[in-house]
Structure 1
């Protein structure tokens, strides 16, 4: 059984149930977060359920049904990255108090909409590539394309013009991901990679988690700065990215800092991808980037990346002897 696909099934079903419940309880309200008792906690769980679809897309890639064309690679990697960023943005939006008019800050709505469009396009292109390859027979070949099309023709219009239906549209979309997981869960697994390749893969995964959780958060933070001139509050407990560098800094300066940090983390993600594929140059780049990243962790008061940074360094040291020497057969 494919564990990633199984998590996709579970995340899709649970997420659909939560989205449907929130949509039903909130009625026609367009406030985000939904005005339902305990809704913040439920929506955090709903956001975490998106991890299932992310793993489902990774399982789709490793299943071999995605052609290794440049377009398919770009669409797949973009879909994974945008879905991860969308999950983080949704979590941040939940933590930000609504305005006095009972609405989510407009900046977060714009970020959410842009991510939705990008994800829909990426999934649609990926789905077309999967269908053209024809590995899956019948209607299954179009399942990935339907995931993207549904975002563009159902979820996005509902968010814009019929908020009362948006939750139901998202629930249906998550159910489609559950179907994708069911399609993948019983497939034959690929042979295990050599033990020596595991540290490089683990390094890449930890790095991508760090980039998704903290690098992509720069986008909604910058959007909040552009709209209100203030750093967003996380459940009223603390200001996000409020570190030594933010003291006395103007909003425009903070936007530049968060943008640079985003670019830095994206470069780290690319270096991790190179390491994952056995590149010694990628490992060198990752080593060079770590101290620069650490400066931003200090300046923006990000404690968790320090722990992830130690883990990344340990894994990179463990993988150092194998990068550059792995055979092409181990690369995927």
Structure 2
């Protein structure tokens, strides 16, 4: 070895530096782990708070749903015309429309986009397909509760309907995004949102009234047509009563009718038990509930007529019920 210069200390051995380096790495690793733990706690995602500027209310959601159903109306009508298979395609199609769109980057159906709202989980995060599917099928529970489940969106603190509470989801304004400050100003309802709700409020009562009034009107019109046909039968019944009184038997015969609803009126039987049978026409001009059906009156020796028919009693006059 070469001699050391005077006054120059010897260099430290490399092995002596290893413990110090290892100790330095250990301390740095500990500091890093502590820092990561603090940061992760700070960045923990918390549930969305309540707030009018955060959560979409009942009427905005109602308008979005109406828009979605208007969009789906025509394809739904066409699909449901397919026997059996159409029902399953209808169920799968609606699921795909809502679940795929609400789990997409847009986080919204076309109706929700139009109203400026999106679907999220309870922490404001984007839904995955499983969560969106759960939310969609939970909507059946909101339906079978006479739609009260949907109305909960107007009462709960975070504007959640029953299916939102079940699936832990929220419907919020599109300005609510993860990692960004929550909005403090509530967006105004678009004019077409109010128009959609007004349409719904007008159509819904009209639909209820129509569901009640149309069957009642149909029943009334059919009963009126049956009553006019009965007038021809009354003439045949009078002829039978006179023949029995004169001891001429039942005078069995077919009687013609000018009423287009009447196919024939036949008198048969043995006196005094004569029978008058009115047969309604079987063509398309006759209401379906009486088409090809018959009404019978049987005479008795007490001069009383007894009426019977396979036609529903609500379409028959009081004397035949």
TM bucket (normalised to shorter chain) is under 0.3
TM-score, normalised on structure 2?
0.26
Higher fraction of helix: 1
Computing the radius of gyration from Cα coordinates, the structure with the larger value is 2
Higher fraction of strand: 2
TM-score, normalised on structure 1?
0.25
